[in-house]
């Protein structure tokens, strides 16, 4: 059955042709702002990696990766990336990037096990970014400072879109983003699921950063699953906005200060994934051979969908959908590209 939500009275403001123009304008503007404010340079990135490197993102640990063999490499296996969380840090080490500078790239991934709905597609496109930091910057204060910089880019984008398309009526972002610890959120709403907690917080504040994701809360469950080998679970979080069209919480970015050797060691033990210690990437972290970094991903289609007030991610990206969803969208003025 289709998991489509149709907003009551939905009628897209921009037609498909103008939407396509607006997508490019939004992407061009935002990546310039992001690169300038975080001191990032654009680099090329892989679409696939060798599994034995440990560079692919395991996400929550249960998603199947898309893999294939290469004829001219004696049928050696490669995997399509699920994100570039680990590759970026390895790249900064290879480029000998200095402290205070970083990189960003267009990340394109295939996540075959996504449950398809208004905001989830098997095709994932995001700006993946990573920046070199010092040991002294591995703290909550620096994390929040970086979140505020990114949020300022979102505010600037809102002003830009409003100037270009006043007919959209603006998205109404609050001037400031609210920081909430995941344990604090559970204490507020102990009888809710984590997504229900996020929804309540996003509706109340408009824009929130939920901190410390991956480790277990007092309930014995984590707020959400995070791989143990890139984010430090004590120094990470998600930027979540209130989506007025969908009347729901809307995650726009996952980010964090990355693990050092101590955090990697601790989180591999806690998650029961100590077998990863022998992988090339993990060895590099455990032996302090890679720079300390902060980084994250910002959804490109998610961003366009939000600022253009679209009801479905398929209105801003080309993907594949269940036939009943295609028909339901067609009947409700939701134009899937």
229 labelled catalytic: no
The catalytically annotated residue of 65, 89, 111, 212 is 111
According to DSSP, residue 315 is labeled G
Select which of 130, 229, 232, 251 is catalytic: 251
Q: Is 238 marked active-site? A: yes
Please tell me the distance from the alpha carbon of residue 49 to that of residue 25, in angstroms, as a whole number. 31
Is the distance from CB of 151 to CB of 239 less than 8 angstroms?
yes
The 3-class SS string of 199-259 reads HHHHHHHCEEEEECCCCECCCCCECCCCCCCCEEEEEEEEEEEEECCCCEEEEEEEEEEEC
Is 101 annotated as catalytic? no
Q: Out of 128, 130, 231, 238, pick the active-site residue.
A: 238
Task: Mark whether 254 is an active-site residue.
Answer: yes
Active-site residue identified among 31, 83, 121, 126? 126
Q: Which one is catalytic: 31, 33, 57, 229?
A: 57
Nearest Cα to Cα of residue 130 among 167, 183, 84: 84
**Which one-letter DSSP state was computed for residue 328?**
H
Show the tokens assigned to 138: 């591995």
Q: Using H for helix, E for strand and C for coil, what is the string for 150-177?
A: HHHHHHHHHHHHHHHCHHHCCCCCCCCC
Catalytic (active site) residue 32: no
Active site residue 111: yes
- Check: CB of residue 4 under 8 Å from CB of residue 328: yes
Residues 6+ apart with CB under 8 A from 216: 222
Q: Which of 215, 213, 214, 223 is nearest to 188 (CA)?
A: 223
In this structure, the strands spanning 231-243 and 207-211 are: antiparallel
Q: Which residues are catalytic?
A: 57, 111, 126, 238, 251, 254
């Amino acid at each position: 059955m289709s998991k489509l939500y149709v907003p009551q009275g939905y009628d897209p403001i921009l037609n498909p042709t103008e939407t396509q123009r607006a997508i490019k304008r939004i992407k061009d503007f935002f990546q310039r702002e992001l690169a300038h404010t975080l001191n990032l340079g654009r680099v090329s990135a892989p679409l696939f990696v060798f599994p034995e490197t440990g560079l692919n993102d395991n996400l929550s640990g249960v998603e199947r990766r898309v893999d294939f063999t290469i004829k001219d490499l004696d049928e050696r296996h490669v995997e399509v990336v699920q994100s570039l969380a680990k590759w970026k840090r390895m790249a900064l080490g290879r480029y000998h990037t200095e402290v205070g500078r970083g990189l960003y790239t267009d990340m394109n991934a295939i996540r075959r096990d996504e449950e398809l709905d208004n905001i989830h597609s098997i095709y994932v496109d995001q700006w993946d970014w990573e920046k070199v930091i010092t040991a002294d910057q591995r703290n909550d204060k620096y994390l929040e400072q970086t979140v505020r910089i990114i949020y300022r880019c979102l505010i600037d984008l809102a002003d830009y879109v409003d100037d270009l398309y006043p007919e959209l009526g603006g998205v109404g972002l609050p001037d400031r983003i609210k920081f909430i610890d995941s344990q604090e959120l559970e204490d507020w709403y102990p009888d809710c699921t984590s997504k229900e907690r996020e929804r309540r917080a996003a509706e109340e504040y408009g824009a929130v950063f939920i901190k410390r994701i991956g480790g277990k809360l007092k309930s014995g469950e984590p707020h959400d699953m995070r791989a143990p080998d890139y984010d430090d679970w004590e120094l990470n979080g998600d930027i979540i906005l209130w989506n007025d069209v969908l009347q729901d919480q809307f995650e726009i970015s996952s980010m964090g200060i990355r693990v050092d050797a101590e955090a990697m060691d601790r989180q591999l033990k806690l998650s029961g994934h100590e077998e990863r210690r022998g992988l090339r990437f993990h060895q590099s972290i455990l032996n302090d051979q890679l720079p300390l970094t902060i980084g994250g991903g910002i959804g490109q289609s998610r961003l366009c969908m939000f600022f253009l007030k679209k009801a479905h991610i398929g209105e801003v990206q080309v993907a594949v959908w269940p036939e009943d969803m295609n028909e339901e969208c067609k009947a409700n003025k939701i134009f899937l590209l």
